[in-house]
């Protein structure tokens, strides 16, 4: 269940109540006349099944200009009325995509913050150390730490909705993030080479276990397709635990770290292989992620009004 908090101009509160009462899956409606101060208006609360969220938000979205709309997840709901509302709503909650929430999430994930750059740089350095020491544990840790999937999901959403500026921002965020990560890792590897900690043979002897990073093949693309599909499903269904498995599946961060170390050692064939692996993984995830969003938008059930025969679609 989701909790909805609305602020409505007093002269239009009746319209909001009619919408809420007319939507399947909405219950526990409460109105506090004149309780809101900024902006001024009536405060309206209700609970709704996740499957009904798109219809409700679409039908009261004018409040964005005249009032306020806030939605939050309910961790625990003990209510027979809520149980009935969730049972009446068509479909399953895990299958429903709250498109407004997804749009806000991908927009937040596209912000080029210092935290984003720090995480991706640290992840690439861990991957670089993992490559040099032939440590799969460090490489897996780097894969989990990498924050790049948010921008990939944003690119998928932008392609689906034809928001080309969003796609452009996603590409920019990915490009700058990986460029910074590779540059910092390259600098650290270059200093390590100068100190004699690594040399030109560091990537040649006893590194068979990490060679998969620089040898992209059809399986790399298939894994990227599966990871992209699973990643988008985990984001839209709110299953953050599943997203960890996606991070471990693809070698975007390890490829960036490997490329940086290879550049510092002057091993250009390995740089090419790493760059290709990175491109294959990102392309595969974007393709499958966009396809999954398309299926969710066109095929999977959405909320319906009481007495209606078809639901609204985002």
Listed range (161-165, 255-259, 309-313) with the worst mean pLDDT: 309-313
β-pairing, 26-37 vs 68-73, is: unpaired
- Would you say residue 174 has pLDDT above 90? yes
Which residues, listed in sequence order, are joined to residue 30 by a DSSP beta bridge?
A: 45
* pLDDT of 246: 73
Compute how many other C-beta atoms are within 10 angstroms of the C-beta atom of residue 172: 13
**Amino acid 205: pLDDT:** 57
More confident residue, 240 or 309: 240
Q: Alpha-carbon distance 189 to 185, whole Å?
A: 6
Enter the tokens of residue 250.
């693809």
What kind of fold does domain 2-89 have according to CATH?
Answer: Alpha-Beta Plaits (3.30.70)
Using 50, 70 and 90 to split pLDDT, how confident is the model at 308? very low
pLDDT category at 188 given cuts 50, 70, 90 is very high
Q: At 298, list the tokens.
A: 């066109």
Q: Give the DSSP H/E element, type plus range, for residue 291.
A: helix 268-298
Q: Which two tokens stand for residue 245?
A: 């498995």
In this structure, what DSSP letter does residue 206 have?
Answer: S
Q: Which pLDDT tens digit goes with each residue over 208-221?
A: 667 778 888 888 89
- What is the spatial distance between Cα 70 and Cα 254, in angstroms, rounded to a whole number? 39
pLDDT for the residue 307: 40
Q: Is residue 303 a contact partner of residue 88, using CB atoms and an 8 Å limit?
A: no
Residue 207 pLDDT level (bands cut at 50, 70, 90) = low
CB–CB of 134/207 below 8 Å? yes
Q: Tell me: the pLDDT tens digits for 5-64?
A: 999 999 999 999 999 999 889 999 999 999 999 899 999 999 999 888 888 999 999 998
Specify the 3-state DSSP secondary structure of 19: helix
Dihedrals φ, ψ of 306, to 5°?
-60, 125
């Amino acid at each position: 269940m989701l909790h909805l908090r609305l602020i409505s101009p007093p002269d239009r509160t009746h319209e909001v109540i009619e919408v809420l009462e007319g939507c399947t899956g909405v219950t526990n409606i409460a109105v506090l006349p004149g309780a809101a101060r900024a902006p001024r208006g009536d405060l309206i609360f209700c609970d709704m099944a996740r499957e009904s969220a798109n219809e409700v938000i679409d039908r009261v979205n004018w409040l964005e200009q005249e009032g306020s709309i806030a939605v939050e997840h309910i961790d625990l709901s003990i209510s027979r009325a809520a149980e009935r509302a969730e049972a009446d709503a068509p479909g399953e909650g895990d299958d429903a995509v709250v498109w407004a929430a997804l749009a806000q999430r991908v927009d937040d994930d596209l912000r080029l913050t210092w935290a984003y750059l720090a995480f991706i740089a640290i992840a690439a350095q861990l991957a670089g150390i993992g490559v040099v020491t032939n440590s799969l544990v460090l490489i897996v840790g780097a894969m989990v730490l990498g924050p790049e999937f948010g921008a990939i999901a944003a690119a998928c959403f932008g392609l689906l909705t034809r928001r080309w500026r969003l796609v452009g921002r996603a590409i920019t965020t990915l490009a700058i993030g990986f460029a910074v990560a590779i540059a910092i890792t390259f600098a650290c590897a270059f200093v390590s080479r100068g100190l004699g900690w690594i040399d030109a043979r560091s990537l040649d002897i006893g590194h068979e276990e990490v060679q998969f990073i620089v040898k992209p093949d059809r399986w790399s693309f298939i894994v990227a397709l599966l990871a992209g599909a699973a990643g988008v499903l985990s984001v839209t269904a709110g299953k953050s635990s599943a997203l960890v498995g996606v991070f471990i599946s693809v070698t975007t961060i390890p490829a960036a770290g490997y490329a940086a170390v290879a550049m510092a050692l002057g091993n250009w064939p390995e740089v090419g292989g790493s760059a290709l692996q990175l491109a294959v993984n990102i392309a595969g995830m974007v393709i499958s992620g966009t396809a999954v969003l398309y299926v969710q938008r066109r095929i999977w059930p959405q909320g319906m009004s009481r007495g209606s025969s078809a639901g609204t679609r985002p």
